[in-house]
Each structure stands twice: as C-alpha cells, then as structure tokens.
Chains A and B, each alone.
Chain A
C-alpha cells in the first residue's frame, strides 16, 4: 500500500507551503495585506500538516520503501519589488496547486481505503487550499497591470 508515500508528499508540501507563505509575507511586509494574509495562510497550512500527521504515521507501518523522485522543490527564496511580488505569489500559487492535486489524489485513496476519518480531513482541507489558490489569483490579477505596465 503506497498511500503513506502520498500522505508524506502532501504533508511535506503543506509544510513547505507554510514556510514559503511566511517567507513571502516577511519579504513583502510593506504590502500589509500580503503580510497578514500570508501569515494567516501559513497557519492554515500548519493545521493541515498537523491533521495529516496521524494518518501518515498509521499508514507508514504498511508502506514499502519510498519511491525515487517523489518530492519536488518549487520554492527557492523571495524577490523584491512589484514584479518580484508577482513572481513570489506565483510560486506560492504553484505550491498550493501541488497541494490541491495531492488532496484530490489522497482523497481518492481514502475512499478506496474506506477511511472515513481521512476523507473528512481531506474534505475540510481541500476547500481551504482551493481558497488559497483563489486568493493568490485575485491578488495577482489586481497587481499585474500596475506592476507590468505602469511601474518603471
């Protein structure tokens, strides 16, 4: 049973996203909404990771060795300025998108395993990840014209 590997992948993706949200928030603290919402969403990711942990532990008992090239690195630090903000938000977007699809995959596995507890966790968390994607898109849509067409 390989579910543990995907749980691990998602768990680490959530932790990485939390960390990236914090870094982007700090790097763009002069954008107060970005600062506050990034920290708020980092908290959401931490909570997701916390909720996944007991399942990851439980399933790891039945898991074979982890396959190669399971994890991906999507974030390598923040940038500055208006266009830097856009690129940083876009990085967060890609990381959140990875979490989003992992929730789908894990949710399907939870169904196959008839694991209602895990299904409940997925149901709650995948909606919050979808909101993160939507917020990042909203913020980038508003910022893009000024950053790309107006700013010098």
Chain B
C-alpha cells in the first residue's frame, strides 16, 4: 500500500533519488540544525569576547548561563538534528527506497523540537545554569532534564526509523549486494546512538525524578560514570557520521572508491565495539574508581578506537589520491593534492575537517585519555580546546561541506554568493584551528575551563596566571571571532540560498523507483591488490608526518608530567 503511494523524484544533476516524505524530513531536520547553530553561534561570540580578558564583555551570571546554552545547542541540537538528516539521507536516498514510517519520523522531529525548546526555556529563565554535564548534586529545573529526555527520545525514534528504512530497502530489493560504505558508516553512528541514548536515559531519568523530589540522593561518582557513557559516546556518533560524510564527499567530488571495503568497514566496526568503554577517560582524575579500571578501559578500548580513526585518516585521503591518480594527476607525491578542487567548498571543507580532526582533535584526545597525563589537563581549557577540534573543526565543518552539495541537490536552489562559499571553509577552519591551539596552549598553562575571570578580581587570595596565558586567551578571542564570522558566512549562504537562490529543475515526482544506473566500470577495477605497488604514496607520507607529530607530542607531555610533584 504505502509503496504504491510513495512519490519519488530523481535529481537531474546528480541522479540521486529522493522519496518525498524523506526529502521533507531531511530538509526540516537540516533547517532545525542550522537554526540552533545560529543560536549557538551568537552565544559563542559573546563567550569568546568574555574570556578574552581585555574585553570581558558579559557578566558572570549570563556568562555561565550562555555557556550552558551554547554547549547544549551546539553539541546536542545542531549536531543531532543534522545527523538525523544524514541518517535519512544515507538510508532512503542512497538505497533508493521509501522512508519507513514517515509519520513516526515526524513524531521524532516534533519531540526533538519540543525538547530543544523546553531545555532552552529552562536555561534562559535562569534556573538551569548547570553546564552541559549538569553534574549532581548541583540542581537544575526539572524542565531542563525533561527537555533533554524528550530530545533523546525523539532522536532514538529517528534511529529506529533509519533501521526500519534499511529493512524496507532490503525487503523491497532496491539495491544489490551490501549497503554502501557511507550507509554502513551511518549505521555505525546509529548503533552507537542507540546505546548512548540508553546510557543517557539510565542517568537522566533518575536525575529528573531527583529534581522533582521523588528520589532523595544521586551518587555523584555514579552520575559521572554513567553520564560519560552517554556524554562521550555521543561524540562518537559524530565521529562515525562525519567520517561517513568524508567518504561521501570523496565519492561525490572525485568518484573515489574506498581503497578496501574490508578495511574501512572493519574500522567502523571497531568504533561500535570499543567506544562505550573509552568514555572512562573522563573519570581519570576522579576518586572512587580504581586504577586498573581506568587503565583497562582507556588503554584497551580507547586505543582500538584510535586505531580505527587512524585507519580512516589514511583510507579517506588515500581513496582520493587513487581516484586522482587514475585521472592522470600522477606527477610526484602530491600533484593529486595540489590539483584538487580547492575552490570547491565541498572538498576544501571536508579536507580541512579531516586535517583538523586528525592533527588537533585526535592527538589531543589521546593525551587527555592517558591516565597520568590527564592530571595535567583535566578540567583545564585544554579540554574544550580538544573537543572544539573534534566536533567543530571535525564534525561541524564536515556537515557544512556536505551542505554545499545538498543545497542544489536536495533543496533545488542555486547557491547564492559562490565567492563567499569558496572562502567560508577557510575562514571557519583557520579561525577554529588557531582557536583550538590557543585554548590548548592556555590549558597547558593551567587556565581552567568554564571560568568567567581568570584574573580573580575581588578574590581574597589572588593569583596571577603568567602573561602568556592571557595572551593565549586574547588569541582565542581573535580567532574565535574569525571562526564566528566563518559560521555566519555559512548561515548567510545557506539561509540566503533557501530564500533567494535561483530555483533549479527538481525533476518530476513519480510513483515508481528509478533503478540504480550503475556507471560503467570496465576500466576501473577494485583497488584491492594494486599488483603489490603503493597505491597512495602521497597519503602515506602525510600519514607518517601525522605519526611523527603524534609521537613527539605524546612524549613531550610525559616529559612535562615528570617535572611536577611526586604523587601516588
């Protein structure tokens, strides 16, 4: 029944096929994401201008309030709305099938919107300034926890709609063989999302009951352990999603194929197996958890997850290199990279995302996840430095890059301000890259995170941070403003395009599914076994540069640790 009524259109430019209901839901989730990005971005501007001590713009009450709202609107709403859009795209569009249960997908969207509004109202009314982590026993208004729970339930339903769509595609035989690698990556994100949200429910539901008075006591150590099973793993939804987006962009821009399906899929599978345990690294400086527990979870689980990221870090640019070499860019190590379309924001955004996530986010993440090194990093501004490299430079920039592909394809609009779009990934990426480095620098000098005034004006026992720390925060301020400008350019381009962009031919809706036109691949065989040759030498050199930076920085940190007080 449902199949007979379903309407599909084929994008005349890309050949991608959209199911009408899925199309509306992808659009809506993406638009909701951009709206929350706008809110979070405005707050970001106020925050960077406050931590820049020379300007110190807003007062303490509002600073902490905005910081809470910024964290939740960016990490929860912007990213997860966009991820739900990606899940629907990777299932219904890539598999050329109808979206399962569109009505329930609408319900999911409604719950997520209601949840976002609810927790934002709680925060902006001033009764839930508890940060993203909302550590007990610091109380927030019950509406805060309730809003988060509603949002999570909505996202969970979205995940099940995605899984249902995979089932529909399989049952209706809309594709042959296995699901595409990008869909596989989205499936990884979905599986991680499901167990993450389960952890969130285990801790947020009792915390909500505690906030309304039904539960007397929530143990702070237990709260932290379970909260982080949700808090960190949820970031791994983003990693899986943005790695899937990297592969998608490599495929869209270069027609690149994965070097080896086996390697790339196994790397995704490692995320599923090990990420939940790796959340333990947030509790390394905590009492009440044993040393063996800390070492086991971080060393064994996290490094296998790190291994997965290191694999993707090679295979994504590797696939691009192979595709470029097949097009004839074979001169030297790096002609393939030099001749890449650096003016195309879809590619440049993706590549800056890859470099930033790997070099800045990946390496700093491993430092924080090492039991002893964590002591010289825990709760300093190094921590937001790390996660701005991963989720802003990595995830957000990857999502921005794919947006430039989706504007004509999904929204059927010609992009306005193409000149701006060309520069946007650079402005945002470089601003954010310097911002994260300066934050990490300030953190190394001991500057705390979530802190309104590190000059301690008015405190009875003052302390002065070294001048370099204040300089670092000033650099944070300047580069943060540049990153916000890059973010604003993205919003102006996308919203402007939706409102004023020239309408493009959308293709007609029909009730039949256009079968997949498999491109002729006679000349291009699979990459596996390139006759023993080195398929991607340039990428391998880049990977070795990365490894060298990683090893050096790792041991520099141990050296630094060895100079602090003896502790045992």
Q: Do chains A and B stick together as partners?
A: no
List chain B positions with a Cβ less than 8 A from chain A.
none
